[in-house]
Amino acid sequence: MYIQSAHADTFARDNLPPTDCQPEFLLAGYHYPQRLNAGVELCDRLLDQGHGERIALAGNGRRRTYQELTEWTNRLAHVLVEDLGVVPGQRVLIRSANNPAMVACWLAATKAGAVVVNTMPMLRTKELCQVIDKAEISLALCDTRLLDELVECQQHSPVLKRVVGFDGTANHDAELDRLALGKPASFKAVDTAADDVALLGFTSGTTGSPKATMHFHRDLLVIADGYAKEVLQVTPEDVFVGSPPLAFTFGLGGLAIFPLRFGATAVLLEHASPPNMMDIIREYQATVVFTAPTAYRAMLSAPTRHEDLSSLRVAVSAGETLPAPIYHDWIKQTGTPILDGIGATEMLHIFITNRLDDHRPHCTGKPVAGYEARIVDNDMQDVPPGTVGKLAVRGPTGCRYLADKRQHKYVKTGWNITGDAFYQDEEGYFHFAARNDDMIVSAGYNIAGPEVEAALLAHPAVKECAVIGAPSQERGQIVEAFVVLNDGFQQDEECQQMLQDFVKQTIAPYKYPRSLRFIEALPKTSTGKVQRFRLSQEHYPSADSPGSDMNSSNTNSTDTNSTDTNV
């Protein structure tokens, strides 16, 4: 079934799930040669297409052309092979914030045939050790500003043999950079198979060991040739900016793979706060932005928003589902489409989305070209339109967990079961209801928390909010809302009653929050996704907490690494 592998280290292919446990892959419309190296296709190939003098990456005060990026990554690839002994198939961990050096290390390792594991700065020693031990990683490349945790991990891990620092500030003053100085600017990349594993994307939850999703060289191109080409309609004139970490597949796609596939520019921010993103959008005249709904809301409140956001042609909402009030406000104030979509680390990126010429509020859209989606019940039978059920999807990418029994839960009869509750309307559009484990069941009613949140956000008093299911002896669960107020509103019973009444008037009364708490700030991930499970754990530690998928893009998922998109 598989093409002849170029991997001398066969760990990755040896630990793929059995083929009968994998989803059905639909590759019609996606044609790649049997021998394919994604590092070459996203770097050297752009020189062949005449993009050598175009800016590929910008960040930390420096801009790199595609010619410079190609030569830089080739020198680093020489170091990996000649000085660090990397062999095809070996796992290489990269630890860094979003900066050009991280992208260069990823591309270099991919050219050298390694299987890359990107990790974000927020991971601590224990979490890093879990990743390293599961993927049997012997070499780690790390921004020198973040070395301490990895060095400590090396002392505890039986498999991590070497940690090599690189300079993420663009000064090139670290061990890896010095080793690369005298290396040739050309490199013969490893002739990997299209279905050799190129990337391990780790997903996170509130409990349990991390899951590693396995993605082929061809998969990295599929997400660009599908979503980025069909939906975003990327051209070399585009400039990308955003907040998702490159360590998440959603961020890697949106801030590296998509621009590099089409000769566009990626502007990388280590600290992607809304004010920082607005500065960068204005300075670089960015055209495509990826960030979370909360960040879009913050940008809309800035007094200079019209000037700062005028260059954008499309905004992609990530981290969690896009509330209708934010959708409407964004369209009204910027005139720019804002596209909600869903993806998952298991699927690599977004697979259902709105389009530039077909977008609507409280709607996730339709499948990306090559993907199919259904709404099913527990027996994998289709449910009628308008009925909430489980989202099942298949297409050119899909779930392959690294040696993990949970593969059987995610893949059913050839379909990926993403863990999201959705419904499909009569026109074929898909609508997010909740994560399957986040549906609130109160006195027999199924209530989707995001719908209640959207109702609350429509009130001018509400700056941010999160809804959970709180345990109740009488009703099983009740809807409980945590609300951050805008300036000028008081945290008192009158305001509480006003918001509860407002929800009753906006959606079905049984969905209103019977409990409403005021809070100064909501717990969030580094990408801006609200961590509802932390609210549950803090206030109801003895109750079962809903799970969290950090890479969800409706993120997404990915976590969303589902993208309802840690896309």
Q: Over the stretch 85-115, which tens digit does the pLDDT of each residue have?
A: 999 999 999 999 999 999 999 999 999 999 9
DSSP state of 150: H
pLDDT of 366 over the 60 cut = yes
Q: Which residues contact 288 (CB under 8 A, 6 or more apart)?
A: 232, 234, 238, 239, 240, 241, 258, 312, 313, 314, 315, 316
Exposure of 504 in the CB half-sphere (CA atoms within 13 A): 10
Q: Contact 520/529 with Cβ under 8 angstroms? A: no
pLDDT the model gives residue 295: 86
pLDDT of 517 over the 50 cut = yes
pTM for this entry:
0.85
Exposure of 426 in the CB half-sphere (CA atoms within 13 A): 0
pLDDT the model gives residue 210: 86
Q: Over the stretch 375-385, which tens digit does the pLDDT of each residue have?
A: 999 999 999 99
Q: 30 or 560: which carries more pLDDT confidence?
A: 30
pLDDT level of residue 208 (50, 70, 90 thresholds): low
Structure token pair of residue 381: 């039978």
pLDDT of 564 over the 50 cut = no
Q: Over the stretch 426-451, which tens digit does the pLDDT of each residue have?
A: 999 999 988 777 778 888 777 888 88
pLDDT of 302 over the 90 cut = no
Q: Over the stretch 71-82, which tens digit does the pLDDT of each residue have?
A: 999 999 999 999
CA 398 to centroid of chain Cα atoms: 15
Does residue 336 sit in helix, strand or coil? coil
Q: Contact 249/561 with Cβ under 8 angstroms? A: yes
